[in-house]
Amino acid sequence: MDKKAKNILMKTYWSASGWKDEYTITPKDFTYAKEKGLMFDAVSISHDECVKQIKAIVEKITPQQIVKAFISSLSTRRLDWRSGISSYYIAKMLPMHTYTPVISGKSYENGKVVYTSCTCSICKDLKYGVIGKEDYKDVDVNILNFERIKWGGVRHGELIYILFDLQQFIKEEIPEPTDADIHILKDILKIIMSSAANDHPGILCDRFKDIPDFKSNKNERSSLVEILACIGVLKPQSYERKIQGKNDWTFVEYWRGEDGYDQVAVNEYFGEYL
Q: Is the dihedral of CA 265, 266, 268, 270 positive or negative?
A: positive
Residue-wise pLDDT for 217-247, tens only, equals 999 999 999 999 999 999 998 888 887 667 7
What is the model's pLDDT at position 1? 87
What is the model's pLDDT at position 102? 84
Length of the chain as a residue count? 274
Residue-wise pLDDT for 12-61, tens only, equals 999 888 898 889 899 999 999 999 999 999 999 999 999 999 999 999 99
What is the model's pLDDT at position 104? 76
Contact 160, 139 (CB under 8 A): yes
Task: Kindly provide the b/e burial profile for residues 98-131, where b requires at least 16 CB atoms within 10 angstroms of the residue's own CB.
Answer: ebbeeeeeeeeeeeeeeeeebbbbbbbebbbebe
Residue 217 Cα distances to 6, 12, 50, 120, 202, angstroms: 19, 21, 32, 34, 13
Residue-wise pLDDT for 100-158, tens only, equals 888 777 777 777 877 778 889 889 888 777 888 899 999 999 999 999 999 988 888 89
Average pLDDT over residues 176-184: 95
Amino acid letter, residue 187: D
pTM: 0.88
> Under 8 Å CB-to-CB from 17, ≥6 apart: which residues?
none
**Integer Cα distance of 40 and 35 in angstroms:** 9
Q: Which residue has the higher pLDDT, 108 or 93?
A: 93
Q: How many CB atoms lie within 10 A of CB 41?
A: 11
Average pLDDT over residues 169-180: 93
User: Would you say residue 79 has pLDDT above 90?
Assistant: yes
221, HSE (Cβ side, Cα atoms, 13 Å)? 19
What is the model's pLDDT at position 132? 86
What is the model's pLDDT at position 260? 95
Residue-wise pLDDT for 181-198, tens only, equals 999 999 999 999 999 999
Q: Which residue has the higher pLDDT, 242 or 172?
A: 172
User: Would you say residue 177 has pLDDT above 90?
Assistant: yes
Instruction: Write a three-state SS string for 62-87.
Output: CHHHHHHHHHHHHHHCCHHHHHHHHH
H helices of 152-178, in order, are 159-169
